[in-house]
């Protein structure tokens, strides 16, 4: 196998193994977050952004969800997802 192909294969294996589980993954809020966001991309670990950043990100993603043909978040879904993301958000 050529070196470039080997390097790409190793990188793919490393990346696939780095997908850390979501915090409290069995909670209804985490499952809701995963279910609603996983339609377009893998759900990001909440620790990756601050609570304020998550609030802005969810607001930014809602029109994109509708453009993609997904139903909008209900107010209860939005509140549950934001509470989950803010509970496990990073500090920087």
Query: How confident is the model at residue 11, as a pLDDT?
Result: 44
Which parts of the chain sit beneath pLDDT 70? 1-19
Judge whether 46 and 22 are in contact, CB under 8 Å: yes
Judge whether 36 and 77 are in contact, CB under 8 Å: yes
Cα separations in angstroms, 75 against 16, 17, 78? 34, 34, 5
């Amino acid at each position: 196998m050529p070196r470039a192909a080997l390097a790409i294969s190793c990188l793919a294996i490393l990346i696939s193994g780095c997908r850390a589980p979501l915090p409290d993954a069995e909670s209804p809020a985490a499952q809701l977050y995963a279910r609603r966001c996983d339609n377009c991309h893998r759900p990001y670990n909440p620790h990756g952004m601050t609570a304020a950043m998550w609030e802005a990100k969810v607001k930014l993603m809602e029109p994109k969800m509708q453009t993609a043909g997904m139903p909008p978040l209900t107010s209860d879904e939005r509140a549950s997802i934001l509470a989950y993301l803010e509970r496990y958000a990073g500090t920087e």
